[in-house]
Amino acid sequence: MVFATVPRGVQWMYSVRGIVGPVRFQRSVPVSAAAVLLIGFSLLLGACGTVPPGTAGSPPASSTGTGSSPGGSSSAPPSSAAPESPSPTPTPPASSEPPERPAVDCKKLKCIALTYDDGPSPGTTPELIKILKKYKAKATFFQLGNLAAEYPELVKEIHDMGSEVANHSWDHDSLDRKSVDGAYMDMKKASEAIEKACGCRITLMRPPYGATDKGVDKATKKLGLAQILWDVDTLDWESHDPYDIKSKVLHSAAKNRIVLMHDIHQTTIDAQEDIIEGLQDKGYTLVTVSEMLGKTTPGKRYPKSWAHYGN
């Protein structure tokens, strides 16, 4: 039984993007000014510490070009400049308490990235969130823009627990069938909805059905999004069999692999406790795609096996 995937038969699969690139002040400014800027900015962002939503359409040159950390979520700004003003300057609200998320080094650890596409879905996603929290596992959710707009609280909860939200198009059209501008506009709209919901900046996308080509490469590059395909396809949408889904994941698991599933199927959710326990028993650390890949390049496809697909 071999489930490791090859970019083949992808016409029936799915995907997304989305990560957070912490904003960094590159220039050194006087501490007091930095502190003021920092607090003001944090308040503005609701403690997310990431680029404000709504910037998805702008070329990422400035924001993503300055090296987002692999950790992705940390809202830790550059200098830990403690406000030195004598007045009781309030610290930024702990409303978005960054989840305890020690930095992971996937060069040393046995990492694996579980990914869930096509949500968020109020019928199934909340249960998955509970399971991930229970096992202190992180994952990446490639979401549809129209659903993110309808269920923003689920997007935010996923982000707030330290998992990653990413773009999976507005409503699951095949982006390779659109013009470059059409694909760009579709993903831009989706990014805006997701970023508005999470209060964060996303940097990853997964093309629906894995359908990518040079046009999608161009559109994603322009949007500052790296394309994340997968290594292991569970075919969960087809089997609807928790045991089969679990078996595929556990038998195909390997260090630094990306696993494709969908959080819109109850049968997939039913497999998750066994999958996560099984992986953790084998010594895996469950991380987000951004934690595993580190800094990604907009427009580029990951993993490498997808580099020449669709052209």
Active site residues: 117, 262
Q: Judged by CB, which is closer to Zn ion: 101, or 301?
A: 301
Cβ 264 to Zn ion, closest distance in Å?
9
Q: Judged by CB, which is closer to Zn ion: 23, or 147?
A: 147
E-only strand ranges, the chain: 111-117, 140-143, 164-167, 204-205, 226-228, 232-233, 257-262, 285-286, 301-302
**10 Å Cβ neighbour count for 250?**
17
Phi–psi pair at 196, nearest 5 degrees:
-65, -40
Q: What's at 10, amino acid-wise? A: V
Radius of gyration of the chain (CA): 19
Using CB under 5 A, which residues numbered 106 to 125 contact Zn ion? 117-118
Element (H, E) at 107: none
Residue at shortest CB range from Zn ion: 14
Q: Judged by CB, which is closer to Zn ion: 22, or 207?
A: 207
Q: Judged by CB, which is closer to Zn ion: 117, or 186?
A: 117
Give the count of alpha carbons within 13 A of 152, CB side only: 13
Stretch that binds Zn ion, among 102-110, 157-165, 204-212, 231-239 (CB under 5 A): 204-212
Stretch that binds Zn ion, among 58-66, 205-213, 239-247, 282-290 (CB under 5 A): 205-213
Q: Does 231 bind Zn ion (CB under 5 A)?
A: no
Binds Zn ion by CB under 5 A, chosen from 5, 10, 14, 148: 14
Query: Which has the closest alpha carbon to 189: 141, 143, 145?
Result: 145
Residue 4: DSSP 8-state: B
Cβ 233 to Zn ion, closest distance in Å?
12
| Contact in structure between 25 and 190 (CB atoms under 8 Å) | no
Cβ 168 to Zn ion, closest distance in Å?
5
Stretch that binds Zn ion, among 6-14, 22-30, 88-96, 288-296 (CB under 5 A): 6-14
Q: Which residues bind Zn ion (CB under 5 A)?
A: 14, 117-118, 208
